[in-house]
A and B are shown apart, each in its own frame.
Chain A
Amino acid sequence: MSRIAAFIFRRKGGNGWHWTDIVTWIWLVGGLLIMFGPAVWLVGSSFKSPAALAEFPPTLLPYVTQKVTVEGYDKPLYLYDATLPDGSKAVLAEVRRIGIISQMVDPEKPREIIKVNIAQRTPVRTMAFATTNYTEPFIHFDFVRYLWNSVFVTVTATLITLVVNSMAAFALSKYEFRGRAVAMLLILATLMVPLSVIMVPLYSIVSALGLFNNLWGVILPTVATPTGVFILRQYMLTIPDELIDAARMDKASEWQIYWRIVLPLTAPALAVLAIFSVVWRWNDFLWPLIVLSRKELYTLQVGLSIYSGELNVQWHFILAMTVVTMIPVVLVFIFLQRFITTGIAGTGLK
């Protein structure tokens, strides 16, 4: 154990603790709690029953009060550890509560009502994962639809992004033609026109094209990303032009050169763009919110926000669905984090 500690806390000089070392560790451990804590709390909460969610102070783990079926009562009754007036302790079931007095019965002797002050009883609880939080929305809400819509939008948009942007990047990196500088400039200019600036006219164009309340209306405006063109073009510039000449001598058509020579060689950059695109499209919110007004077309993000904005928020479902929404991104984070971080550090783009 001390060896591990020595390994974790080893420092440059190795002689004594400098105040900066202390600050470093406070910052890191604090960061760990603040960055991961909320998500962990969310996951924990998502397994709690509605009753447990309403409790204060909340418990760290999901508990439910045990119930028992007692002879002579239709519904199952809650179990409590009660301190009886004579000071002895017993496990009793609550029949009803009147003011601060709880009427209870011993499950073994259902005839006899015992009155206990509510301060004198604590519920008997066991840990239980409310998995219905997860299963119910799939049945009662359109959750499966939202999930499907999100997957469809993400996958389709990513595929189109890869094809369209790699084609443009190919043209801009491997051909000399008039207007190339203009095309580059136009694409660069896209960076200056974020969605929040053009949402009103974009909405009218998408409507005019009949794409309002249509998943394609969500997909199409996002697929020509300047970031994608830049990442791919930068990479394609490193492919030697002699390879292209060689392919031309080999009787390859330009399309074949693009798809059999250049695309395979751009695979690492395409992978980075694919990961980025998946995360972007999965997380998109404002534009789908504008374009999609029919319930059955909502993406997960829109559906979640609409449900969470309702007057009667059913937190137990919302929390569980939030966790489901997080899953793909967390998977990307776990398996591809290194890819993304080097991608960002390399391009400075998000």
Chain B
Amino acid sequence: MKAETPKSTGSGFGEAIMVPVRLAMGLVDAPLRWVQRKFGLGGMAAFFLLPNMLIFGIFVLLPFFINFAYSMTGGTALFLDDRTFVGTDQYTRLFDCSNYLDPNSCTEDTFWTAVGNTAWFVVLQVTLMILFSLVTALILNRELTARSFWRAVFFFPVLLSPVVVGLIWKWILQRQGLLNFGLYGFGFQPYTWLNDRNWAFAATVGVSIWAHMGFYTLILLAGLQAIPKDLYEAAEMDGTRPARAFWRITLPLLMPNLLVVIVLVLIRAVQIFDEVYVLTGGGPGTSTLYLTQYIYETGFATQLRNPGLAAAASILMGGVLIVLTLIQLGLGRSSEKKGSRK
């Protein structure tokens, strides 16, 4: 938490840290006064914006554009000038399938396996994630003793790193793990869950929900708490049954938040990587190989790496994400407008 201390004032420690910071800021001031005199306020605005724009330009904008160039080249070389132009070969290769529903009929079968897995993952994970976080938010919105404690309970895993999440569950799902221990009590024999294609897939869905559910619960809960209580009181006076109140009041008023959450979950689900990589490593076989891991392994990890192919695949994924993000921004804007109208 060192980052915070320069802002704290009053405490002796804070003051001590402030001395060199003040000195540094003072030293910066003299040349900047010169800049200000020379270039005026507009120049200072540019100066303040410059570091961010520079980093942003080099590490986001530039890669974004040369990604297209990469996807048009072949070979294993890293730098663009060492690579040979191949036109749309990489895309052709990705799309070379006799039957799109059967990955084995494709030249780049792992890509289509990853696409299929990711599609299934997204459908299942998003549905269950929304369901669980909505139910949890509704329950936390009831009149509860120690609500902030319960909210914290569901929020806890959100802060854990994906690697820690992956390792925790890998440990629980292994042969001598907690799950088998629990089932053993009911007379089941130990089972290596992560070696089973279907169970491993289910585990990635479940674990990613476990890890991120609290975050969406929080957003939905904030939306629920923004619904004026007098609406429910009015409904009660009208003799509205609670179930009807949910469908006719809660859900419509929560809809803007819910839509934003759905798109957010979608965006994250499409990119799933970290916790799955640690939990199953994409296995067994390719049963939990998702798109990001495919791109990562195609681009870096394997001996026969093919950065051009990885770039082409990432551009396809990027297209999906951009559409989703635009929808999210549009939804955010329209819900803001609704908010201001209130």
Contacts and interface: CB of A to CB of B under 8 A. Distances in A.
Contact of A35 (B59, B154, B271, B307): B154
Given A38-B178, A341-B218, A301 B163 contact: yes
B321 interface: yes
Interface of A: 7-12, 20, 23-24, 27-28, 31-32, 34-39, 41-42, 45, 53-58, 155, 158-159, 162-165, 167-168, 170-172, 175, 177-178, 183, 186-188, 190-194, 196-209, 220-221, 223-224, 229, 253-256, 258-259, 263-264, 267, 270-271, 274-275, 277-279, 282-283, 285-286, 289-290, 301, 304-305, 308-309, 315, 318-319, 322, 325-326, 329-330, 332-333, 337-338, 340-341, 344-345, 348, 350
Given A162-B3, A305-B278, A341-B155, A177 B32 contact: no
Interface of B: 1-4, 7, 9, 25, 28-29, 32-33, 36, 41-42, 44-46, 48-49, 51-53, 55-56, 58-64, 66-67, 69-70, 78-80, 135-136, 139, 142-146, 148, 150-164, 166-172, 175-178, 180-181, 184, 190, 210, 214-215, 218-219, 221-222, 242, 260, 267, 271, 273-274, 277-278, 281, 291-292, 295-296, 299-300, 307, 310-311, 314-315, 317-318, 321-322, 325-326, 329, 332
A9 B142 CA distance: 12
Given A31-B154, A201-B63, A177 B46 contact: yes
Contacts, number: 320
A277 B3 contact: yes
B219 A345 contact: yes
Contacts of A34: 210
A186 B163 contact: no
A255 B172 CA distance: 54
A343 to B, nearest CB: 10
A256 B218 CA distance: 38
Interface centre among A158, A167, A198, A205 (most CB of B within 10 A): A198
Interface of chain A, main secondary structure? helix
A192 B178 CA distance: 40
Contacts of A177: 41-42, 45-46
15 contacts: A28-B144, A38-B168, A168-B49, A171-B49, A192-B321, A194-B271, A198-B63, A205-B58, A205-B62, A220-B55, A270-B7, A282-B161, A325-B163, A332-B159, A337-B155
B139 A201 contact: no
A198 B64 contact: yes
B78 A204 contact: yes
A11 B221 CA distance: 19
Question: Which 3 interchain pairs have the tightest Cβ spacing?
Answer: A283-B161, A168-B52, A345-B222
Contacts of B218: 341, 344-345
B172 A41 contact: yes
A192 B326 contact: yes
